[in-house]
Structure 1
Amino acid sequence: MRIFHVSDCYPPRTGGIESQVRDLARAQVAAGHEVHVLTATAGLGGERGGAVQDDDGVQVHRLGTRMPFALPVNPAAPPMVRSLLADLRPDVVHVHAGVLSPFAYDGARIAVAHGTPVAITWHCMLDGTVPALRRVVRASRWASAPIALSAVSHAAAARVAAVFDAPVHVMPNGMDLERWAPQARPDPPVGRVPMPRAADAAGDPDLATGPAGLDGHAGTQLRCVATMRLAPRKRGPALIGIVEDAMTQLQPGALALDVLGDGPARTTMERRIARRGLSDVVTLRGRLPRDQVRAAYADAEVFLAPAVLEAFGIAALEARTAGLVVVARRGTGIEEFVTDGVDGLLVDDDAGMARAIVRLATDPALLASLLGSARTHPPVFDWANALVAAELEYGRARDLRSSSGN
């Protein structure tokens, strides 16, 4: 099968859509397909304007142009997309969409007009945009276009369905489960657990001394990690407030958080950490290569995911696969692979996340139970399942195109 993937973003840019499109394309090449990626993202050396690069067998067509801040946008790309469709005649065009994806939406429009089967997958939550998008769809040809609609989670699919009033399937992301499998961990000290703050434990000798008769000082430290782009949507600054809330209920030294990633919110987070006296609790480690991320997960117990508009959560899935207890917001795509009270905790708000952290820091039996389940029951989002889901969507796109009579 000859497959076109159309995406505004692609490596060397970093992010969830970029990594998923690249990994899916590579998996399809390994399965014997001919795969092309059409993107507005320039290459590492600035390649653009139609340059073609081989990316482990994936033919990447760099259709971008020079834009301020290297934005992956090119209003002049449609003629190049039409030419590639005419010359290569793909069997299916798979469009990868976010809230703002002008290049991807142009690609979808052009492919539909060309008569090629089209599948569109949304990698985002459309909260706040559904009414406006619904009006646009109703007033245009998109309402009747023969397109297979999908999203990366049930939560994201519900928003897309509200826009189109049409069936929206779930096409989950995939990952290399073996690569992220749990690594060996050192055994924690026996009988030592983090204690609540002395002021909270004053009326309870058991809380003040701990189950092993400790002297009221913090015992084993709860090691947490969060991996995210430090941007407003991921709510990195809010995470600092959550940690501050948790530390008002814990002894000093009871909690440590490593934040992996970089972005425009880093300066704000650094200021909040310093202003709130959390420099000995929170460490911003910057963006790390995947091998170092896995090493960080091997040294942690809990993954914190404070984002509200999380369509799927690749970083959370990687942490969950690595055997960490995931604490995340309810109603996000993370619910696809985290079960509350079994292998993680789902919360309704920031205060609930702070309470969950305190529970895990002070209830060793709960932490052990969740860790045991997370380490022995890996999620099912491997590339074999992702490839099957993609091919089902491609078949649905072909059926919709055939039944449309166009």
Structure 2
Amino acid sequence: MLKMLNYRIIHLSKYYPPDRGGIETHVQILAQTQAALGAKVHVVCVNGFDKEGNLSTKTKTVNEIDGDVNITRLGRLGSFARFDICPELPKKLYQLVKEPNTLLHLHTPNPTMLIALTTLHKRVPLVITHHSDVIKQKVLKYGLRPFEHLIYSQSSRVLTTSFPYIEGSKFLQLYRHKLSYLPLGLPSSNYVQPNQIALTFSSSLKEKYQGPIWLAVGRLVYYKALHIAIEALSRVPGTLIVVGVGSLKQELKALAQKLGVDDRIVWLGRLSEDELVGAYHAATALWFPSNIRSEGFGLVQVEAMASGCPVINANIPGSGVPWVSRHEQEGLTVAINDPIALAKAAKRLLDEPGLRNRLVISSRKRSEYFNHVTMAQRSFEFYEEVLAQEWNYMNTSQSSVSSL
């Protein structure tokens, strides 16, 4: 780890908080923890906000400081098919890699940064965290594939967030010789010991809404499969609290009305971190019905487990989701796209004596495995291996030139 003090880490992320999402949260936690351990860290991402702090498709470049982490939010002219048009990006990348002892860490899927890297005609140590395959967006998937192969071939190491994801990805099998996995980590103290704001919010939810409280956290997009949770609610008592925003909200609300459960669903949208902690502590369980491999890990599962909120997840083939919270160990895992199975699992938590308490204890213990400091220290180990390989490559190349 001491070697890392002499190097600068550049994280290439699609977005960064206050943009919410699993990858964004992970990049922030990893960058801040690496900086706290002594590394020089810079994050480059797309700016999704105007100067008033509102989400906007047209933005300007701004530089910020987040604790000990330098942030460059690049302005964009617009966005098309998940590709952000950022004219300043190639020039900014070139400026950054000109500085000595720089290592790039790319977080994918991320078409904007991926394509920009193809314009770098310079060898730079590159680590990629492959958070998930591109599954549904066929045009993006196949249009992006040549760029993916180019950058992944040039990379020094490709990381996934779990071993099961490696086994389930045909794309990653092409790079098996450079694959490892680095589970996501979380500073869990706020979840284990909630502050007064979180406790007050938790109490207000339990007082205001009929129990048991079931919680769903995530963007309202197709692969989160919130329609399964809504269908399951029609078979169990209680209230479903939904935390998150997204394009499917109206469609999901229409389904809830059709099924006659709209009066038992609370749409909270975005919450502060303290409020989210409070929601976990108010809930009987987190419902996590994501149904395809676009969901590679599910960091909210770790948040819930650290809070003592058992998880009911879905058995997505080739995903790390059921590995994070394991069936009958820390939570309950059901078949994908099966609202009846989700409802039966929820009823077990209500009816089976001692089950929920056992899962709460195991969940809190399991969450300790996903520690943010361990994650950052392990990332340093990967970086040092990559930098050693680069050093050997440079020496070999120089020796070859000298012998001519």
Tell me which residue corresponds to 2:310. Answer: 325
Tell me which residue corresponds to 2:221. Answer: 231
Give per-residue Cα distances to partners, 1:205-226, cap 9 Å, x unaligned.
xxxxxxxxxxxxxxx9433111
Instruction: Please say if 1:302 is aligned against 2:285.
Output: yes
- Answer yes or no: is the 8 Å Cα contact 1:150–1:169 preserved in 2: yes
Tell me which residue corresponds to 2:329. Answer: 342
Tell me which residue corresponds to 2:89. Answer: 77
What's the TM-score, normalizing by structure 2? 0.79
Tell me which residue corresponds to 2:38. Answer: 32
How much has 1:122 moved relative to structure 2?
Answer: 1.3
Whole-angstrom CA distance in 1 between matches of 2:193 and 2:227: 29
- Answer yes or no: is the 8 Å Cα contact 1:224–1:256 preserved in 2: yes
- Answer yes or no: is the 8 Å Cα contact 1:8–1:73 preserved in 2: no
Tell me which residue corresponds to 1:119. Answer: 127
Closer, same or farther in 2 for the Cα pair 1:106/1:399, shift >3 Å? Answer: farther
Q: Which runs of structure 2 are paired with 1:3-402 in the superposition (5 Å)?
A: 3-42=9-48, 45=51, 50-68=61-79, 72-74=84-86, 77-86=89-98, 88-98=99-109, 101-109=110-118, 113-127=121-135, 136=146, 141-142=150-151, 144-158=153-167, 159=169, 160-181=171-192, 221-244=211-234, 246-247=235-236, 254-308=237-291, 309=293, 310-331=295-316, 332-349=319-336, 350=338, 351-375=340-364, 378-402=367-391
What's the TM-score, normalizing by structure 1? 0.79
Give per-residue Cα distances to partners, 1:308-361, cap 9 Å, x unaligned.
232111111100111111110124323343121122011222242232122223
- Answer yes or no: is the 8 Å Cα contact 2:48–2:59 preserved in 1: yes
* AA matched with 1:268: E
Point out the more displaced range, 230-239 or 158-167: 158-167
Whole-angstrom CA distance in 2 between matches of 1:255 and 1:42: 37
Please list every run of 5 or more consecutive structure 2 residues that lacks an aligned counterpart in the other structure: 1-6, 200-209, 398-404
Percent identical residues: 23
Higher Cα Rg: structure 1 or 2?
Answer: 1
How much has 1:131 moved relative to structure 2?
Answer: 9.4
- Answer yes or no: is the 8 Å Cα contact 1:50–1:80 preserved in 2: no
Point out the more displaced range, 66-75 or 30-39: 66-75
Point out the more displaced range, 17-26 or 368-377: 368-377
RMSD between aligned alpha carbons? 3.1
* AA matched with 2:287: L
* AA matched with 1:84: L
Please list every run of 5 or more consecutive structure 1 residues that lacks an aligned counterpart in the other structure: 186-219, 248-253
How much has 1:3 moved relative to structure 2?
Answer: 1.0
- Answer yes or no: is the 8 Å Cα contact 2:215–2:280 preserved in 1: yes
